[in-house]
Structure 1
Amino acid sequence: MNIKKHIPNIITLLNLFCGCIAIIFVSEDDFEMAFFFVCLGIFLDFFDGFFARLFKVSSPLGLQLDSLADMVTSGVVPGYVMYSLLKMSQNPASTDVIIPYLGFIIALGSCYRLANFNIDTRQTDSFIGLPTPANALFILSLPLVLKYSDSLVVFEILSNQWVLLIITLFSAYIMNAEIPLFSLKIKDFTFKKNTLQIIFLTLSILLLGFFQYLGIPLIIITYVLLSVVNNKFLKK
């Protein structure tokens, strides 16, 4: 029995397990623990592919398992979080029970992206559209920003259901948009070939240092904006 070939799939299933636990914490409004388990799941998601390449045991089964696990951890969980945020943003006397369920549009957008990613041969070294793990981190950081931010403006913005609906729709769009995003992989240690990655890493550290949880969505936005600017320069 070749144990090596099963290691990447076990790691993938652990990613799925983290997603299942995160769902339970979201149902209990414990967004910090949900955020922690999604981060752990994303960490495992990186290493299943790493070990598959290391042991040379990549397989179609592993590819499908990876997408199915991501669908829960980076699709259903953020959709559930947005559902919870929309529900909390409503007036207690509100009779509009439909709006919170629109948060699951994020799960639908994630599902479409993951299915498309499996058949899109253009996304081997970089991404087209925002990856589901990055989108999940963006959405799961929002309730933490609400909880820990001292800014009344930030609180008012993220407590507004129409703002949350716009974020929901934009989230589903940006995951499937035909926007090339630069690769975060550093293939060698020369500054010239990794200028963009180093700039992004530096900005990410600064944003986290200055803004804490608010830095997470700002990092994702910075990643998209840097990619758009980089695409403009490449065209020129």
Structure 2
Amino acid sequence: MNNNSINIRVIPSIFTLANLFFGFLALVLTMDGGFKLAAGLIILSALMDSMDGKVARKLSVSSDFGMELDSLSDLVSFGVAPAILTYRAVLQDQLGYWGILLAALFVLCGAVRLARFNVLDIHTYFVGVPITFAGGFMGLILIFRGMLPWLVYPICLAILAVLMVSTFKVPKLGK
């Protein structure tokens, strides 16, 4: 291999880091009031997240490092970013401090869900709703903020938080 070529093992991590980058940008845009664009970036993070694992398997370069990096990225992009976005865009004005607690519950349940996923060696289904789905769903419905009743957001946040730590078997699609 010459000095100018990229090591094939880092290619999936580029997608994972893009996921994290878009999650970070969603947080910055949320702070600046760019709620719809922040929601769109969460969805873009989901696209990057779907690509990293596929690329790793296709190139036969899956690794424990990649799995850990993916989990850390997912916690930011699909836990912290949608929770803070939901809080700032809807819950802050409607629920005040209770909104902070609800948003925190979503993040905490997402972290537990990711930790549980990393220690279970199950390849045919997920235990609990994946954080990628939960955060992506919140991002999707936040695009429609103003068109849906405000109560939809805290209810979805609470239900998804519980579903992430539930013991429901969720089939893995595309396997």
| Structure 1 residues 23 and 156: alpha-carbon distance in aligned structure 2, compared to 1, 3 A threshold | closer
**Cα shift at 1:63:** 0.6
Q: What is the CA deviation profile of residues 131-164 of structure 1, one whole-angstrom value per residue up to 9, with x for unaligned ones?
A: 11110122223333332x2xxxx42634xxxx72
**More displaced, 14-23 or 174-183?**
174-183
User: Kindly, what percent of the aligned residue pairs are identical?
Assistant: 30
Aligned residue runs from structure 1 range 128-207, under 5 A: 128-147=127-146, 149=147, 154-155=148-149, 157-158=151-152, 164=154, 166-185=155-174
| In the alignment, structure 1 residue 78 sits paired with structure 2 residue 98 | no
Aligned residue runs from structure 1 range 15-26, under 5 A: 15-26=19-30
Instruction: Tell me which residue corresponds to 1:31.
Output: 35
Paired residues of 1:83 and 1:104 also in contact (CA < 8 A): no
Instruction: Tell me which residue corresponds to 2:12.
Output: 8
Question: In 1, Cα distance between the equivalents of 2:149 and 2:158?
Answer: 20
More relative contact order, 1 or 2 (CA 8 Å, 6+ apart):
2
User: Helix, strand or coil for the counterpart of 1:127?
Assistant: strand
| Structure 1 residues 54 and 111: alpha-carbon distance in aligned structure 2, compared to 1, 3 A threshold | same
- With structure 1 as the length reference, what TM-score do the two structures score? 0.66
Instruction: Tell me which residue corresponds to 2:113.
Output: 113
Instruction: Tell me which residue corresponds to 2:104.
Output: 104
Question: In 2, Cα distance between the equivalents of 1:17 and 1:120?
Answer: 27
Q: Identify unmatched segments of 5+ residues in structure 2.
A: none
Question: In 2, Cα distance between the equivalents of 1:141 and 1:23?
Answer: 15
Question: In 2, Cα distance between the equivalents of 1:61 and 1:32?
Answer: 33
User: Helix, strand or coil for the counterpart of 1:87?
Assistant: helix
- With structure 2 as the length reference, what TM-score do the two structures score? 0.87
Question: In 2, Cα distance between the equivalents of 1:5 and 1:89?
Answer: 47
**Cα shift at 1:76:** 0.4
Q: What is the CA deviation profile of residues 72-106 of structure 1, one whole-angstrom value per residue up to 9, with x for unaligned ones?
A: 0011011102322211215xxxxxx5223111211
Q: Identify unmatched segments of 5+ residues in structure 1.
A: 91-96, 188-236
Question: In 2, Cα distance between the equivalents of 1:156 and 1:140?
Answer: 14
User: Helix, strand or coil for the counterpart of 1:155?
Assistant: coil
Question: In 1, Cα distance between the equivalents of 2:150 and 2:38?
Answer: 23
Residue identity opposite 1:9 in structure 2: S
Question: In 2, Cα distance between the equivalents of 1:156 and 1:64?
Answer: 35
Q: Looking at CA atoms only, which structure, 1 or 2, has the larger radius of gyration?
A: 1
Question: In 2, Cα distance between the equivalents of 1:111 and 1:21?
Answer: 20
User: Helix, strand or coil for the counterpart of 1:146?
Assistant: coil
Residue identity opposite 1:126 in structure 2: Y
CA RMSD of aligned residues (A): 1.9
**Cα shift at 1:39:** 1.3
Question: In 2, Cα distance between the equivalents of 1:144 and 1:15?
Answer: 19
